[in-house]
């Protein structure tokens, strides 16, 4: 089963391009929505509401599709506005976790994302007056302990009698 996005990548129809978007969220600063390109885009997200993504110079490096433990999404926003820079710096100073949602839309159909959104957490943010570089990562599920909860004498006091 091929998706609309796969058809666009394969056939490259004139005028129908993928639109890459990012949504950055921090509790203390709210939501920042950015899209790649020269024009702002109003599009539907998975909750059913239509939101506006602000146009920005943006480069996205998607994580490889593999079974490695940690998958990183890297992106750079060039010539960022003072508002974006201020909000990101405020979130960093407050110690907030910055959530990153990557969505891709097609120019011909903006009612919903062309693929399911990718949700990640920012693990490294570097910002200056010209650009913002962010590395976001999935939780490292491959290297997580299983079961997640460890039974230690602090949790189960009877274990101290077994050796």
- Mean pLDDT is lowest, of 45-54, 72-81, 109-118, for 72-81
- Main-chain dihedrals φ then ψ at residue 161, nearest 5 degrees: -90, -10
Q: What is the pLDDT of residue 1?
A: 39
How many folded domains does the chain comprise? 1
Closest CA to 123 of 137, 140, 139, 102: 137
The pLDDT of residue 13 is above 50: yes
Q: What is the pLDDT of residue 4?
A: 63
Q: What is the pLDDT of residue 93?
A: 83
What's the domain range around 30?
4-161
Q: How confident is the model at residue 144 (pLDDT cuts 50, 70, 90)?
A: low
The answer, as to whether pTM is greater than 0.85, is: no
**Contacts (Cβ under 8 Å, ≥6 apart) of 56:** 34, 35, 36, 77, 78, 79, 80, 84
The pLDDT of residue 55 is above 70: yes
More confident residue, 7 or 127: 127
């Amino acid at each position: 089963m091929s998706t609309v996005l796969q058809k666009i990548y394969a056939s490259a129809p004139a005028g129908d391009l993928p639109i890459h978007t990012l949504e950055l969220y921090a509790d203390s600063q709210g939501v920042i929505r950015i899209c790649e390109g020269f024009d702002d885009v109003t599009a539907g997200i998975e909750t059913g509401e239509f939101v506006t993504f602000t146009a920005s110079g943006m480069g996205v490096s998607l994580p490889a599709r593999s079974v490695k433990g940690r998958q990183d999404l890297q992106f750079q926003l060039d010539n960022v506005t003072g508002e974006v820079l201020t909000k990101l710096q405020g979130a960093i100073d407050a110690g907030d976790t910055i959530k990153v949602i990557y969505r891709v839309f097609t120019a011909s159909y903006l009612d919903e994302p062309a693929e399911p959104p990718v949700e990640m957490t920012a693990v490294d943010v570097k910002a200056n007056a010209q650009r913002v570089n962010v590395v976001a990562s999935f939780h490292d599920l491959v290297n997580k302990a299983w079961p997640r909860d460890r039974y230690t004498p602090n949790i189960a006091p009877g274990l101290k009698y077994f050796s």
